[in-house]
Structure 1
Amino acid sequence: MSKPAIVVFAYNEVGYRCLETLFDMEANVVAVVTYTDDPDEEIWFRSVAELARSRGIEPLLDLDLKDQQNVKTIKKLKPKLIFSFYYRDVIPEKILKIAKLGAYNMHGSLLPRYRGRACVNWAILNGEKETGATLHRMTSKVDRGEVIDQEVVRIEETDGAKEVFLKVCDAAAEIVARTLPELESGRVVGAAQDETMATEFGGRRPEDGIIRWSNDSRRIYNLIRAVTHPYPGAYTDYRGKKLFIWWGKPQEGTSLGKPGEVLSLDPLTVATGRGNLRVLRAQLDGEIEMDGPDFARKNLNVGTLLGQD
């Protein structure tokens, strides 16, 4: 008996890992829809397009999914299953309905919590101790369809966004591996999401990385690790330039100075609204990244006031 045809919409490392899992399980992937990389974006993840080509499939790039001709192209493929693995655009319902065995999305949180975009970054910023991956049925309402499977991942105290994201990638690939047989057979059973537990967050912009020194040191630390490399970074103002703080360590307790005041150079320590922040990696915009004390000796003085609230 032939396996059902699958069309995959995918991007980013989650897209790569999940598509790779489908290929390794010899799923009948008939098309891969993905994007051309943006030259202005830091591309740290592997290419879905290159993976597809390595398996003999020429990817469909940058499709306008509202274009009727593109809808017809997908219909001609006669997919029984559709997957979306970190595809950045909402897939129209008229495409979802093509798949007789269903259309499914991999989301980077434990739905119904953290619906929306940048869910890993938001979870870290909010100080969560765990997140995960969720495979759910796609409907006209984004991130609201029945949950098929979930996998929890731990957020450690010293994890940055990339470390957590890679754990989510592992979880997503594991979910694909264990659910594919049921999805292909049509025997999969989903569970409705509990709307009373739902939370939703929007996308994040580089300017959302500004440090508010009046916040407590833990909140500032969570922001730093939520947007550190390969993301745009947390920053403060210094002499009219952006001063990026790529890593630090919170020191909780009573603050020893005004919020944003440099208290010492080695270790580089800055006062916050509650407690202090030890700065371990820093960089002025357009210059090289440095260890905190080296940066401080070159650029700062005790008593220097950073940023603005």
Structure 2
Amino acid sequence: MSKKVVVCAYHNVGYRCLEELLKQGADVRLVFTHEDSPTEEIWFQSVRELAERHGIPYLTTDINEPANVAKVREIAPDLLFSFYYRNMIKPEVLEIPRLGALNLHGSYLPKYRGRVPVNWAVINGETETGATLHHMVAKPDAGDIVDREKVTIAFTDTSFDVFTKVTEAAVTIIARAYPLLAAGTAPRIPMNLAEGSYFGGRKPADGLIDWTKSAVRIYNLIRGVTHPYPGAFTYLEGKKVIIWSTRPLPGSAEPGMVVTENPLVVGTGEGLLEITSLQPEGEDEVAAGGFAAIVHPAGKRFANP
């Protein structure tokens, strides 16, 4: 007999994991998702559209609202899943499903608990991350682990590249774990939080480049927040410039100082950084050569205003 399931989902991970549950024959009775934000670049698949195609009722109001808690109680699901749902789910909801409430997190837990784990892993120069399915408890990303899958992070990967890998890992996990969860035979591995780390969310303002840091650290920040994220930025003669792509080079120069225009090379606290794509505020993104031909930045300094 198929199990009754309630799903909280958003983003590509939410879409693909819900899709996999449906392939597995889960009886999805209700989906909670989010309204798209008008201030956010919506580059990912729509959970709401997937629910509509399959005739599954969905709500964009918070699952924790009393009326929604009552709906979940009425359904009496066997399982509840959270796939990149952005609201913390309260303990009174987590206690409802008979076989457990589980979350798919975009890191190899217990490392990178918390918000935007893929971006943080790239920004910090990690060489691997992963996806983890775990039981939800009151503390975020702290419940028993059911399954994990590692993915590699290449030195040239952006956060988008890694997020795509993590999404595939998430689907692999759901395909493996759902039959075991439905049968009540899935493993539960206690999470050792002492072996991990917790990271908070990021704001666009956190993308400000500190040119006194090494070229590699700046490079990691830039690839960690480049498209489709807001991007890392700096200032040239008081004007904001978003830096979309770079590559670190050997050598030395004063931090922020433009060494050459073509290629566009800038000094850092350790090493040099070649800028290959950038965007002055209010203008279109351009290759560095086109920018340099107009601005002639040689001898000028990228710095905070």
TM over 0.5: yes
In the alignment, is residue 293 of structure 1 matched against residue 284 of structure 2?
A: no
Answer whether contact 2:106 2:118 (CA < 8 A) is retained. yes
> Percent sequence identity over matched residues?
47
Alpha-carbon offset, residue 227 of structure 1:
0.1
SS in 1 for 2:244: strand
**Offset from partner CA, 1:11-48 (integer Å, 9 cap, x none):** 01100110011111221111110011111100000000
Distance in 2 (CA, whole Å) between partners of 1:183 and 1:64 is 25
Number of equivalences: 305
- Flag as ranges the 4+ runs of structure 1 deviating above 4 A: none
Q: Letter of the 1:60 partner, please give it.
A: L
Alpha-carbon offset, residue 308 of structure 1:
2.6
Distance in 1 (CA, whole Å) between partners of 2:287 and 2:261 is 11
Structure 1 partner of 2:74 = 76
In the alignment, is residue 221 of structure 1 matched against residue 219 of structure 2?
A: yes
Q: Letter of the 1:40 partner, please give it.
A: T
Distance in 1 (CA, whole Å) between partners of 2:239 and 2:161 is 29
Distance in 1 (CA, whole Å) between partners of 2:104 and 2:295 is 45
Q: Letter of the 2:193 partner, please give it.
A: E
Deviates more, 1:137-146 or 1:293-302: 293-302
SS in 2 for 1:99: coil
Distance in 2 (CA, whole Å) between partners of 1:32 and 1:86 is 13
SS in 2 for 1:237: strand
Distance in 2 (CA, whole Å) between partners of 1:278 and 1:95 is 51
Structure 1 partner of 2:163 = 165
Matches within 5 A, 1:40-119: 40-61=39-60, 63-119=61-117
Distance in 1 (CA, whole Å) between partners of 2:90 and 2:249 is 48
Distance in 1 (CA, whole Å) between partners of 2:95 and 2:155 is 42
Distance in 1 (CA, whole Å) between partners of 2:62 and 2:162 is 31
**Offset from partner CA, 1:183-216 (integer Å, 9 cap, x none):** 0111112101123211111000000000000001
Q: Letter of the 1:308 partner, please give it.
A: N
Distance in 2 (CA, whole Å) between partners of 1:4 and 1:65 is 20
In the alignment, is residue 302 of structure 1 matched against residue 298 of structure 2?
A: yes
In the alignment, is residue 272 of structure 1 matched against residue 268 of structure 2?
A: yes
In the alignment, is residue 179 of structure 1 matched against residue 177 of structure 2?
A: yes
Answer whether contact 2:32 2:62 (CA < 8 A) is retained. no
Q: Letter of the 1:108 partner, please give it.
A: G
Q: Letter of the 2:298 partner, please give it.
A: V
Distance in 2 (CA, whole Å) between partners of 1:241 and 1:266 is 21
Q: Letter of the 1:47 partner, please give it.
A: S
SS in 2 for 1:152: strand
Distance in 2 (CA, whole Å) between partners of 1:301 and 1:201 is 36
RMSD of aligned Cα (Å): 1.1
**Offset from partner CA, 1:63-110 (integer Å, 9 cap, x none):** 233421121011111111000000000001101111010000000001
Q: Letter of the 2:37 partner, please give it.
A: D
Matches within 5 A, 1:242-253: 242-252=240-250
Q: Which runs of 5+ in 2 are unaligned?
A: none
SS in 2 for 1:31: strand
Q: Letter of the 1:266 partner, please give it.
A: N
Alpha-carbon offset, residue 301 of structure 1:
2.5
1:258 corresponds to which of 225, 248, 254: 254
Structure 1 length as normaliser, TM-score?
Answer: 0.97
SS in 2 for 1:304: coil
SS in 2 for 1:90: coil
Structure 2 length as normaliser, TM-score?
Answer: 0.98
Distance in 1 (CA, whole Å) between partners of 2:277 and 2:112 is 29
Q: Letter of the 1:101 partner, please give it.
A: L
Distance in 2 (CA, whole Å) between partners of 1:126 and 1:210 is 15
SS in 2 for 1:70: helix
Alpha-carbon offset, residue 300 of structure 1:
3.0
Structure 2 partner of 1:21 = 20
In the alignment, is residue 140 of structure 1 matched against residue 123 of structure 2?
A: no
